[in-house]
C-alpha cells in the first residue's frame, strides 16, 4: 500500500517524465533485484533486519548457517540473545539486531501463527520492522507492491528530480504516485543499483543513462568549473554542491546523513 498522501512538495519531473526516466535506468541496470539471498518471506525478513548498516554480501555470508539453525519464526522465537549474538556479530549492531530478530519472531508466532503477515500495518507492528524493511519483504517475497526507500533511492531520486524530499515516506509517496504498482519494487531495486554503481555520493555522471534529464547534473555538475584534466568535478565535495539536489548555498544535511541518524535512533534499518 502506498503511504497516505500528505501534502507534499512537487518533484521537478511529472509522471510521464518519471516513467521515461525509470525505463532508461532499468535498461541500464537490467534485472535489478535485491542482492540478499532468501527462499521465503521469513528468510528475507531476517536478512533485511540484518542488513542495517551492513553490506548484503556480509549478510549473505551469515544467513546460510543461521537459517539452518533457525529455519522458521518458531525456531527463532525460542533462541536467546546469548546464543544468537555470536552468530550475527559480523553484521554489526549485533546486540540490537539479536533483540529485534527474537522479538520479531516471537510476535510473528504469537500474532500470526508463525507466518509472516502480508500487510504493511501488520509488518510494521513487529519489533525491529520499519516501513523500508516491510516494503522489501512485501515487494520481493509476498507479492504485494512495495517501494522500499533507502539512502540510495533517496539520493538518486532527489538528484534526478523524480522526487523532492529528505523524508523516505514522502519520496515513497511521490514515486508510487507516478509509477504503476507492479513496477514499484523493480523501480526501487533499479534506483538502489544506480546509486551503488553510478550515482554514488560522488556521482559518475559520464556513465549515466539519464544525465540529460537529471536536475542535479544540470544545476550542479554541468556548472562546476572544469579541472586541470578537463573533467568537471562532480559530487558532494564540489563547491557548488549543496545537499542532494542543488539549491541555495547554505549548510545542508544530506538525506543520507538524516537516514543514518534515523537508523541510529532505531526507527528503521
Least CB distance to ligand SF4 at residue 217 (A): 4
Closest CA relative to residue 136, chosen from 70, 260, 51: 51
Interface residue with ligand SF4 among 49, 120, 208, 259 (CB under 6 A) is: 208
User: What's the CA gap between 197 and 25, in Å, rounded?
Assistant: 12
Residue 67 contacts ligand SF4 per CB under 6 A: no
Neighbours of 155 (CB within 10 A): 25
Q: How near is the Cβ of 135 to ligand SF4 at its closest, in Å?
A: 22
Which span sits near ligand SF4 by CB under 6 A: 38-46, 163-171, 206-214, 224-232?
A: 206-214
Query: What are 70's three cell numbers?
Result: 533457525
Is residue 7 among the annotated active site residues? no
Q: Give me the 170-199 binding string for ligand SF4, x by CB under 6 A, dash otherwise.
A: ----------------------------xx
Q: Among the options 4, 33, 97, 150, which is catalytic?
A: 150
Cβ-count burial 27-40 (b if 16+ within 10 Å, e if not):
ebbeebebbbebee
Catalytic position from the list 13, 97, 132, 219: 132
Question: Does 70 engage in binding with ligand SF4 (CB under 6 A)?
Answer: no
Q: Determine the Cα angle at 140 with ends 27 and 128, to 5°.
A: 125
Name the minimum Å distance from CB 212 to ligand SF4.
8
Rounded to whole angstroms, the Cα distance separating 61 from 40 reads: 17
Burial class (CB in 10 A: 0-12, 13-18, 19+), 25: buried
Contact pattern for ligand SF4 over residues 134 through 153, marking x by CB under 6 A: --------------------
Question: Quick check: 25 and 175 in contact, CB under 8 A?
Answer: no
Residue 132 a catalytic site member: yes
Q: Which CB sits closer to ligand SF4, 24 or 118?
A: 24
Question: With respect to ligand SF4, which residue has the nearer C-beta, 24 or 96?
Answer: 24
Q: In this structure, are residues 176 and 184 in contact, taking their beta carbons and an 8 Å threshold?
A: yes
Cite the active site residues. 132, 150
Amino acid at each position: 500500500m502506498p503511504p497516505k498522501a500528505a501534502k507534499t512538495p512537487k518533484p521537478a519531473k511529472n509522471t510521464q517524465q518519471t516513467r521515461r526516466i525509470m525505463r532508461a535506468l532499468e535498461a541500464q541496470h537490467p534485472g535489478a533485484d535485491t542482492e540478499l539471498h532468501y527462499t521465503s518471506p521469513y528468510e528475507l525478513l531476517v536478512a533485511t533486519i540484518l542488513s542495517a548498516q551492513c553490506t548484503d554480501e556480509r549478510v549473505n555470508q551469515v544467513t546460510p548457517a543461521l537459517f539452518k539453525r533457525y529455519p522458521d519464526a518458531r525456531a527463532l522465537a525460542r533462541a536467546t540473545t546469548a546464543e544468537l549474538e555470536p552468530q550475527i556479530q559480523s553484521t554489526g549492531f549485533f546486540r540490537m539486531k539479536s533483540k529485534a530478530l527474537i522479538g520479531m519472531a516471537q510476535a510473528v508466532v504469537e500474532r500470526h501463527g508463525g507466518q509472516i503477515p502480508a500487510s504493511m500495518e501488520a509488518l510494521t507492528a513487529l519489533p525491529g520492522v520499519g516501513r523500508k524493511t516491510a516494503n522489501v519483504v512485501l515487494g520481493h517475497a509476498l507479492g504485494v507492491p512495495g517501494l522500499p526507500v533507502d539512502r540510495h533511492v533517496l539520493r538518486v531520486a532527489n538528484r534526478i528530480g523524480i522526487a523532492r524530499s529528505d523524508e523516505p515516506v514522502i519520496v515513497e509517496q511521490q514515486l508510487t504516485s507516478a509509477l504503476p504498482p507492479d513496477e514499484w519494487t523493480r523501480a526501487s531495486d533499479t534506483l538502489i543499483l544506480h546509486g551503488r554503481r553510478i550515482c554514488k555520493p560522488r556521482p559518475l555522471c559520464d556513465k549515466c543513462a539519464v544525465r540529460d534529464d537529471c536536475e542535479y547534473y544540470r544545476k550542479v555538475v554541468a556548472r562546476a568549473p572544469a579541472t586541470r584534466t578537463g573533467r568537471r568535478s562532480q559530487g558532494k565535495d564540489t563547491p557548488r554542491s549543496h545537499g542532494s539536489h542543488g539549491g541555495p548555498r547554505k549548510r545542508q544535511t544530506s538525506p543520507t546523513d538524516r537516514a543514518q541518524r534515523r537508523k541510529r535512533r532505531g526507527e528503521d534499518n
